Amino acid sequence: MKNRLIVQKFGGTSVGSVDRIRAVAEQVIKTKEQGNQVVVVVSAMSGETNRLQGLAYEVDSVPSSRELDVILSAGEQVTIALLAMTLDKLGYKATSLTGWQAGIVTDDTHNQATIQSVDNEKFDQLLNDDQIVIVAGFQGVNQAGAITTLGRGGSDTSAVTLAGLLGANECQIFTDVDGVYSCDPRVVESALKLEHVDFDDMQTMAKYGAKVLHEPCVEFAAKHNLNIRVLSSFSPKQGTLVTRLQSKKNVCGLALQRDLSRLIVNLDKAGQIAMQCQLLGIAVHSQKAEYLIVNNSDVSKLLQISSEDVSIVEPISALTIVGAELEEVHLDVLPQLLAKDIKVLDSFRCDRVVKLLLLPEHLNRAANFIHAQYIEQSHSVAKDKKALIL
């Protein structure tokens, strides 16, 4: 009988030092000793990707996307080697693989690539030799052999895609939090840990700023009905199961986006500039006839080609309410925030989403107020109803 295959992913904080890498090795060994085959996907050590990106921007404020992939992929290469060495020292056979060594083939989109295929034969050979396979997350190669990266958070996508394509029994995402919360607990101290989140809500939260999981990895998991469990590297708690099971919460959670800029443009030029953004690989978070919103880091690149059409660049933040039946929430929340001296610069509602654009200094206050009004209160009501039933 073939052993169960478990894919485990460890993020940058989890592998942020040699001591933490040793703790990761012990977790991997525990899973191995339970009779499982194990594939481990790791990120670069915390802070390393930012350091490498900073070096690139010191050389050129608009670096070549191809060469940026080359430098950014180096971070994970360090981590896979250190983890393989640690496992070897502890008496377990392990082999580290970069993206190209693992046969992870992507499309040609530098900095935001999509995985197309994986060399299953390479993995089967190593796993059948009773080895622990350690893979560099966030990276692959295109058909021409050029290194590509999958975008920030791409190690999640590496792990989930490998789990799906290798036929794994389970994909476990280890991070520095013990599950998925209703809002970033560093902003809202009373944020609730969710026992389970359905794919739709998780994908929406990831799209609009929740950083626990990378959006493409949730999209892949939903398509292949592959459950993901989000766990903490530092806590034995059960974590959160991301699954097809539908959530019954009207408001599931809040997603926050910082480090955004709103570009006020010449009237009716936003569509044309958005098309240029698409060609340059710049994400546009919101767009209207008179403005568009991009990441701060992309402003200089965009201004190089469209400065004559941009009149104002201003910092902005976004808060997205995620859930079902949000029409009443949208109508209700705007006057309540105004009464709290929190100015909403713009808002819109679409399926499962109410998005609010705010001044950066108002984001945390708005998050705490909305969480208390629409998540904590409903949670308390649900608990009271459960107590009455019992």
Give the domain CATH number at 119.
3.40.1160.10
Mean pLDDT of the region 135-147 = 96
Mean pLDDT of the region 319-332 = 91
Residue 311 counted as domain residue: yes
Domain co-membership, 168 together with 294: no
Full residue range of the structural domain in which residue 353 is found: 251-389
Domain boundary among 176, 192, 212: 176
Residues 192 and 117: their CA atoms lie apart, in Å, by 37
Give the model's confidence band at 380: pLDDT under 50 very low, under 70 low, under 90 confident, else very high. Answer: low
Domain co-membership, 262 together with 377: yes
Residue 109 counted as domain residue: yes
Task: Examine the pLDDT at 277 and tell me if it is beyond 90.
Answer: no
Give the model's confidence band at 164: pLDDT under 50 very low, under 70 low, under 90 confident, else very high. Answer: very high
Give the model's confidence band at 283: pLDDT under 50 very low, under 70 low, under 90 confident, else very high. Answer: confident
Domain co-membership, 134 together with 281: no
Residue 139 counted as domain residue: yes
* pLDDT tens per residue across span 242-263: 988 776 678 899 999 999 999 9
Mean pLDDT of the region 356-368 = 97
Note the pLDDT of residue 269: 82
Residue 192 counted as domain residue: no
Note the pLDDT of residue 389: 41
